[in-house]
C-alpha cells in the first residue's frame, strides 16, 4: 500500500405531498459517481481535516479528476493504494495502513482530524476501517482524531459520501449541558460565504446559539441533545439526521434554502421554532428577499417556459425543480432522484406543480428514451451522460456543479439561476 496524493494539489403551505401514484420507481442500471466525490468539497470545508481514501488507483484517479480544477500546495486528501500484494493477502493491509498514516502525520502535523475513507477495494478485502480508526486514534491522541466512513458503492450516489462523513462525526459530538437553552444546528456542508450570511441573518433575528455541522474547524464540535433544533441545509443527509435525532435533536421540517422563496421558507421554519415575531423576521430578511427577487427577474426571460429534465444524481433534484418551476417558470418534464426521502422532502414535494412526474432510482436506458422523446430544453445529469446527450443536440447541466458552487441563500439565488441560464444563452449565441 502506498499513499498517492493528488497531482496538483414546515412551511406554511399545507398542500398534500406529491401523490404516491406519480412516482415511478426504477430498479435498473445506474449512471452515478460514488461517494468518494464528496471529499472534493468536504476537504475545503473542514480546514484541518485530511481524507485518506483506502482504495485502488481507480479511486485515486476519480478523486484527482473530480478535484482536477483545484491546485493546492498541500492537498488535504490522498489515496492509500491497495495494490496486488494487499489484494492477494501477501501483505498485512493493517500494517501497511499504519505505516502510511504514520508517514502522513509526520509530514503533516497540522492535521487534527483524519478520515479513513473506505472504497470498493477496501470492502472487497474486508479491511475493517473502524478498528483501524480506533487503533490509530489511540496511537496519535490527543493531537489527532481518526474516524472512518465508506465512500464506496455502485448502488449509492455521490452526495451520500457527505452523509456518511457527517454521520461518522455525530458520535464525537458532546452532549449538550443539562437544561441548556434551545440551540439551532444547521447540518450540511455550506460554503463559508453562505454560512456567514446565514449566521448574520439568524443573529438579526436573535436566534442563538447557531452552530454548523460540519464546522470549519474540526475541534469545533457542536453539542447535541433534546434542546437541539436541527435544520438540514442539504436534502441528502438521511443517516446524519437519523444519528442526530437518535441523540435527541429535533428536526425542523422545511424546504431547502434554494432561491428566494426556499430561503425565506427555510429561515421562517427556524424563526417559528424560536418564536421570532413577524416584524423581526421581515426586518431581517426583507433586503435579501428583495435583492434575490430582483436578480431572479433578470434571468426569468431566458428560462421561463423552457423545459427541464432531471436525471437522478445529486439528490438536489426536487428542491431545484421547485425553485425553477415556481421562481423562474420553467416547465418540469421529469424529476429523477436516486432516493426520495419522503419526510425530509415533504415540504419540497408539496410545492412542486401538480402532476409533476417523479422517478426514484434509475433504469438509465429507459430514462434516456423518455428524455429523448421529450426533447427538453435543458437536461440536468451526471458527467457520464452529458457528453452523449450534447452530441445528440440536447443542452445539459452537470449536476455535480451544484455541489461545487455556493448556491444556497438569498445572495446566491442569482448564481443558481445563472447556472441553468448559461447553457441556454450559449446555445442562443451559437445560433445567432
Residues that bind ligand SF4 in the complex, under the rule CB under 6 A: 34, 36, 55-56, 58-59, 62, 119-120, 151-152
* Closest to ligand SF4 by CB, 319 or 338: 338
Give the nearest distance from C-beta 408 to ligand SF4 in angstroms.
27
* Closest to ligand SF4 by CB, 36 or 419: 36
Give the nearest distance from C-beta 403 to ligand SF4 in angstroms.
16
Give the nearest distance from C-beta 261 to ligand SF4 in angstroms.
36
**Pairing mode, strands 113-118 and 396-398:** unpaired
- CA distance linking residue 259 with residue 265, whole number of Å: 10
Q: Which residues pair with 397 in a beta bridge?
A: 380
Give the nearest distance from C-beta 146 to ligand SF4 in angstroms.
20
DSSP 8-class letter at 331: E
With contact defined as beta carbons under 8 Å apart, do 252 and 262 qualify? no
Question: Residue 213: what are its φ and ψ, rounded to 5°?
Answer: -130, 115
* Closest to ligand SF4 by CB, 82 or 191: 82
* Closest to ligand SF4 by CB, 75 or 151: 151
Strands (E), 125-209: 145-150, 183-187
Strands (E), 264-319: 307-310
* Closest to ligand SF4 by CB, 37 or 218: 37
- CA distance linking residue 340 with residue 168, whole number of Å: 22
Give the nearest distance from C-beta 168 to ligand SF4 in angstroms.
16
* Closest to ligand SF4 by CB, 54 or 230: 54
> Is 381 annotated as contributing to ligand binding?
no
Give the nearest distance from C-beta 62 to ligand SF4 in angstroms.
4
With contact defined as beta carbons under 8 Å apart, do 352 and 262 qualify? no
With contact defined as beta carbons under 8 Å apart, do 330 and 304 qualify? yes
> Is 34 annotated as contributing to ligand binding?
yes
With contact defined as beta carbons under 8 Å apart, do 158 and 400 qualify? yes
- CA distance linking residue 93 with residue 122, whole number of Å: 9
Return all residues near 357 (Cβ < 8 A) that are at least 6 apart. Answer: 22, 24, 332, 333, 334, 335
> Is 371 annotated as contributing to ligand binding?
no
Could you tell me which residues are annotated as the binding site? 34, 59, 120
Could you tell me which residues are annotated as the binding site for [4Fe-4S] cluster? 34, 59, 120
Amino acid at each position: 500500500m502506498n499513499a498517492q496524493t493528488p497531482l496538483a494539489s414546515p412551511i406554511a403551505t399545507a398542500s398534500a405531498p406529491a401523490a404516491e401514484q406519480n412516482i415511478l420507481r426504477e430498479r435498473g442500471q445506474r449512471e452515478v459517481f460514488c461517494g468518494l466525490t464528496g471529499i472534493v468539497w468536504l476537504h475545503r470545508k473542514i480546514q484541518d481535516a485530511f481524507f485518506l481514501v483506502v482504495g485502488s488507483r481507480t479511486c485515486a484517479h476519480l478523486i484527482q479528476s473530480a478535484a482536477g480544477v483545484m491546485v493546492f500546495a498541500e492537498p488535504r486528501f490522498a489515496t492509500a493504494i491497495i495494490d496486488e500484494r494487499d489484494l492477494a493477502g501477501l501483505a498485512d493491509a493493517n500494517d501497511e495502513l499504519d505505516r502510511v498514516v504514520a508517514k502522513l502525520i509526520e509530514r503533516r502535523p497540522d492535521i487534527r482530524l483524519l478520515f479513513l475513507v473506505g472504497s470498493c477495494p477496501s470492502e472487497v478485502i474486508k479491511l475493517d476501517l473502524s478498528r483501524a480508526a480506533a487503533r490509530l486514534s489511540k496511537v496519535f491522541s490527543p493531537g489527532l482524531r481518526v474516524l472512518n466512513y465508506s465512500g464506496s458503492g455502485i448502488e449509492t450516489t455521490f452526495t451520500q459520501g457527505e452523509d456518511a462523513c457527517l454521520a461518522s462525526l455525530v458520535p464525537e459530538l458532546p452532549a449538550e449541558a443539562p437544561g441548556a437553552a434551545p440551540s439551532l444546528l444547521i447540518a450540511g456542508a455550506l460554503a463559508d460565504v453562505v454560512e456567514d450570511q446565514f449566521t448574520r441573518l439568524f443573529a438579526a433575528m436573535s436566534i442563538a446559539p447557531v452552530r454548523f455541522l460540519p464546522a470549519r474547524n474540526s475541534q469545533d464540535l457542536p453539542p447535541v441533545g433534546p434542546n437541539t433544533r436541527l435544520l438540514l441545509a442539504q436534502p441528502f443527509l438521511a443517516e446524519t439526521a437519523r444519528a442526530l435525532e437518535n441523540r435527541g435533536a429535533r428536526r425542523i421540517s422545511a424546504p431547502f434554502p434554494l432561491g428566494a422563496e426556499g430561503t425565506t421558507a427555510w429561515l421562517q421554519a427556524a424563526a417559528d421554532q424560536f418564536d421570532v415575531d413577524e416584524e423581526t423576521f421581515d426586518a431581517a430578511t426583507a433586503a435579501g428577499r428583495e435583492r434575490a427577487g430582483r436578480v431572479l427577474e433578470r434571468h426569468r426571460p431566458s428560462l421561463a417556459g423552457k423545459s427541464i429534465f432531471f436525471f437522478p444524481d445529486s439528490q438536489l433534484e426536487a428542491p431545484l425543480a421547485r425553485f425553477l418551476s415556481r421562481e423562474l417558470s420553467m416547465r418540469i418534464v421529469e424529476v429523477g432522484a436516486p432516493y426520495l426521502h419522503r419526510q425530509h422532502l415533504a415540504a419540497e414535494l408539496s410545492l412542486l406543480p401538480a402532476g409533476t412526474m417523479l422517478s426514484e432510482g434509475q433504469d438509465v436506458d429507459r430514462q434516456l428514451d423518455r428524455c429523448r422523446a421529450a426533447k427538453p430544453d435543458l437536461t440536468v445529469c451526471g458527467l457520464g451522460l452529458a457528453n452523449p446527450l450534447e452530441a445528440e443536440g440536447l443542452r445539459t447541466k452537470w449536476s455535480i456543479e451544484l455541489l461545487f458552487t455556493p448556491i444556497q441563500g438569498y445572495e446566491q439565488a442569482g448564481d443558481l439561476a445563472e447556472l441553468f441560464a448559461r447553457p441556454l444563452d450559449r446555445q442562443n449565441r451559437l445560433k445567432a
